[in-house]
């Protein structure tokens, strides 16, 4: 692909052999009106896939693929190839042995052997895949894509890992003894402190994945040294179960840069709130991969019909991609059964009509920059350190208890994996940090839940978070009775008889809470009450610590508390006050006056790009974006529907008080079109400041 100022569209398209010429002509004719920059031809795809197609079949495809490349290059369109199968997504009735005699197949943690999904250590499969890539390399595509089936989970009927004899023999060479599959799985899923075999085995799986990528890269380099590699992934929260080494994988690809295709999920439309997951996948995958990786998000609708997803929803995913600073999008929007693209003419109309608008977003957000918000943490070795309960399933090795972004973003508080004045950690992610790392966190603002607080207390940091002893874990469902959470502390925006439900995360269920014994200097913000409103256990409390930082602790286990019932106007007020207190009133960006907003704020030299998405059907009538910055605003531009940046002074009100800039929009913001602003900054000495009511007063 080429980098540039325009919003890069890479169309993933299957040209079925029985209708190849007709579909190629349609594609060629549509390129200009669709504003497509790159075509990624998908090979042997979905319903009509042969599983692992024979080398003879692949060679027979070459003349037609070359024909397609020549036509595309004639129009200046990049040409890339996406074989649909690597290890194989699922059996789907295929039997790999019929095409590749002697192939080694995946053996799952439960002993089930697949019929089609290859073991990555199989010599037959490795020889086959390097030959496949060598054949495609003859076309010298711009990008060769690896599908997300290069993974050790989700291979139906095998769910997790490969425990075949080759894997067990390799593990024996690492640990010096043979460990049978049943015993090894038992060690991997042992409760409490992880058995050393877990890190050893998962690390070994990560090394094998990197070896495969290096082999594929070598097959490519021999014939097509200029071709780069694109990697589709399934999300870092899942890849921890296979010990993926993201940095090592990028290095073994020998691509500078590697192209990443993070999944945006939302394959069918569902709720607008699903878009929180889309944008989170971008920043999480970005945090896992090394700097300089090019991001081309995956946008698709399964099973590829007009009934699955509206073009408006697809547009919103594209807008989020570019607002997050991505280089482009890959569009898997048409079926793989030989249908014409113009069977759904709305797709092309949307793509062409939104090109200028999305290009303007890209120009404002792309390149060097940092996102504003509360800092989140991720470690690809999370599964090495996670403590499991007794009789845990293999899926429990994944990151299943991370609730920070789900808690904050619907309340108007953006999140980032970059540096920020406040860090928010839930669940067991702190197990991946050293004591020195933890001290660094405690020197800033830190919000944690009861699971994270328990980890810190066990490691000797209890006094730094206001905890004298851990006390007991209790299920609110089976203890009590408890009535509600009283948010009573007026210094933090509450008031007596200000109640929040404890029927969380969905109304009717109830979470687990820890009954901490607190130090005397702790300030309680909210507590549980019984049906007579008598105070019981603290829910949210804060303290300053000896390292100079500030800490807030939720007694809830937030992984099982955050959901629709968690959100409330009082909860938003509570969290905004909390973020301001934790940051010493320097929290970088907050949305006021909106329900279910998604705010993306990206700093670039001399300016800040803000994209506000309305993830509900009701319009925002008087919404404000508060930015903390020691500079002053010299100009604000807004993005018009035709893709032009225009002066926003007529429909924004800017009020400033002590480095807090409140930008109020005097226009309606609807779900169908985000509000995009570009804020230009100057040093304070150049412009006079104005004043406005303090944000805390606004929250009242």
Domains along the sequence of the chain with CATH: 8-367 (3.20.20.80), 374-587 (3.40.50), 590-699 (2.60.40)
Q: For residue range 7-62, list pLDDT tens digits in order.
A: 999 999 999 999 999 999 999 999 999 999 999 999 999 999 999 999 999 999 99
Structure tokens at 31: 């390129």
- Whether the per-residue pLDDT at 653 is higher than 70: the answer is yes
Considering the chain, what is the average pLDDT of its residues?
Answer: 95
Q: Give the DSSP H or E segment for 637.
A: strand 632-639
Lowest mean pLDDT, pick from 144-158, 364-378, 524-538: 144-158
Token pair in block for residue 349: 């109309």
Q: Tokens standing for 285?
A: 């995958």
Residue 678: burial class (beta carbons within 10 Å; 0-12, 13-18, 19+): buried
Looking at residues 554-576, what average pLDDT do you find?
Answer: 97
| pLDDT, position 158 | 73
pLDDT tens profile 346-394: 999 999 999 999 999 999 999 889 999 999 999 999 999 999 999 999 9
**pLDDT band of 205, cuts 50, 70, 90:** very high
Question: Taking a C-beta distance cutoff of 8 angstroms, is the pair 540, 555 a contact?
Answer: yes
Task: Give 232-251 pLDDT, tens digit per residue.
Answer: 999 999 999 999 999 999 99
- Predicted TM-score (pTM) of this structure: 0.95
Residue 259 has pLDDT above 50, yes or no: yes
Any residues with CB less than 8 A from the CB of 41 and at least 6 apart, and which?
A: 13, 14, 15, 65, 68, 79, 80, 81, 82
Cα–Cα dist 259/428, whole Å: 30
Tens of pLDDT, residue by residue over 288-344, are 999 999 999 999 999 999 899 999 999 999 999 999 999 999 999 999 999 999 999
Please state, in angstroms and rounded to a whole number, the distance separating the CA atoms of residues 44 and 16. 8
Predicted local distance difference test score (pLDDT) of residue 689? 44
Residue 260 burial (CB count, 10 A): 24
Q: What is the CA radius of gyration of the chain?
A: 27
Could you tell me the two tokens for 325? 């600073």
Which tens digit of pLDDT belongs to each residue from 450-469?
Answer: 999 999 999 999 999 999 99
How would residue 446 be classed by pLDDT, with cut points 50, 70 and 90? Answer: very high
Cα–Cα distance, 195 to 370 (Å, whole number): 38
Q: What is the DSSP letter of 233?
A: -
Q: Judge whether residue 572 has pLDDT over 90.
A: yes
Q: Is the pLDDT of residue 693 over 70?
A: no
What local confidence, expressed as pLDDT, does residue 690 receive?
A: 41
Residues forming beta bridges with residue 113, ordered by sequence position: 107
Strand bridging mode 484-487 / 499-500: antiparallel
φ, ψ of residue 130 in degrees (nearest 5):
-65, -35
Q: Band of the pLDDT at 5, cuts 50, 70, 90? A: confident
């Amino acid at each position: 692909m080429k980098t540039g100022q325009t919003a890069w569209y890479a169309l993933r398209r299957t040209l079925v052999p029985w209708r190849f010429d007709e579909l190629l002509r349609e594609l060629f004719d549509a390129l200009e009106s669709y504003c497509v920059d790159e075509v990624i031809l998908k090979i042997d795809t979905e319903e009509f896939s042969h599983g692992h197609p024979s080398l003879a079949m692949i060679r027979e495809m070459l003349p037609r693929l070359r024909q397609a490349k020549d036509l595309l290059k004639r129009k200046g369109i990049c040409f890339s190839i996406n074989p649909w199968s690597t290890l194989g997504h699922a059996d789907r009735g295929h039997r790999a042995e019929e095409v590749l005699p002697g192939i080694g197949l995946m053996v799952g943690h439960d002993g089930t052997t697949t019929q089609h999904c290859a073991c990555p250590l199989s010599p037959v499969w490795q020889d086959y895949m390097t030959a496949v890539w060598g054949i495609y390399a003859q076309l010298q595509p711009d990008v060769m894509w690896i599908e997300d089936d290069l993974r050790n989970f989700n291979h139906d009927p095998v769910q997790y890992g490969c425990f075949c004899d080759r894997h067990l023999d390799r593990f024996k060479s690492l640990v010096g003894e043979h460990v049978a599959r049943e015993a090894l799985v038992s060690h991997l899923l042992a409760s409490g402190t992880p058995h050393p075999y877990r890190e050893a085995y998962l690390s070994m799986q990560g090394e094998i994945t990197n070896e495969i990528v290096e082999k594929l890269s070598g097959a490519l380099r021999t014939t097509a040294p200029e071709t780069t590699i694109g990697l589709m992934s399934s999300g870092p929260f899942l890849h921890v179960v296979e010990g993926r080494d993201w940095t090592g994988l990028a290095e073994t690809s020998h691509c500078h840069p590697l192209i990443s295709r993070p999944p945006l999920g939302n394959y069918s439309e569902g709720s607008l709130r699903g878009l929180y997951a889309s944008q989170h996948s971008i920043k999480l995958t970005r945090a896992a991969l090394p700097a300089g990786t090019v991001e081309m998000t995956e946008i698709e609708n399964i099973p590829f019909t007009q009934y699955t997803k509206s073009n408006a929803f697809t547009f919103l995913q594209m807008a989020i991609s570019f607002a997050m600073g991505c280089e482009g999008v890959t569009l898997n929007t048409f079926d793989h059964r030989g249908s014409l693209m113009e069977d759904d003419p709305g797709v092309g109309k949307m793509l062409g009509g939104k090109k200028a608008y999305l290009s303007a977003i890209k120009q404002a957000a792309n390149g060097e920059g940092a996102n504003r918000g509360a800092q989140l943490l991720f470690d690809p070795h999370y599964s090495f350190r996670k403590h499991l309960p007794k009789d845990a399933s293999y899926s429990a090795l994944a990151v299943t208890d991370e609730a920070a972004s789900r808690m904050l973003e619907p309340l108007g508080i953006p999140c980032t994996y970059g540096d920020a004045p406040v860090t928010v950690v839930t669940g067991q992610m702190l197990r991946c940090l050293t004591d020195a790392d933890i001290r660094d966190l405690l020197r800033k603002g830190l919000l944690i839940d009861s699971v994270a607080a328990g980890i810190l207390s066990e490691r000797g940091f209890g006094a730094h978070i206001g905890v004298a002893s851990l006390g007991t874990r209790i299920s609110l469902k089976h203890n009590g009775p408890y009535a509600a959470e009283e948010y009573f502390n007026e210094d933090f925006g509450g008031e007596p008889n200000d109640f929040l439900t404890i029927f969380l995360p969905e109304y009717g269920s109830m979470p687990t809470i820890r009954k901490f014994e607190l130090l005397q200097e702790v300030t309680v913000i909210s507590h549980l009450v019984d049906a007579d409103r008598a105070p019981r256990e603290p829910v949210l409390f804060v303290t300053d610590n000896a390292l100079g930082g500030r800490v807030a602790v939720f007694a809830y286990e937030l992984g099982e508390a955050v959901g629709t019932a968690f959100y409330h106007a009082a909860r938003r007020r509570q969290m905004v006050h909390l973020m301001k207190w934790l940051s010493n009133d320097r929290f970088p960006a907050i949305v006021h006056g909106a329900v279910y907003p998604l705010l993306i704020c990206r700093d670039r030299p001399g300016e800040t790009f803000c994209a506000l998405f309305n993830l509900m059907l009701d319009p925002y009538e008087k919404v404000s974006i508060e930015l903390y910055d020691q500079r002053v605003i010299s100009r604000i531009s807004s993005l018009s529907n035709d893709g032009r940046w225009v002066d926003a002074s007529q429909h924004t009100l800017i009020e400033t008080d002590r480095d807090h800039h409140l930008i109020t929009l005097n226009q309606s913001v609807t779900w169908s079109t985000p509000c995009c602003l570009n804020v230009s900054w100057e040093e304070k000495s150049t412009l006079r400041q104005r004043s406005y009511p303090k944000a805390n007063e606004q929250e009242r």
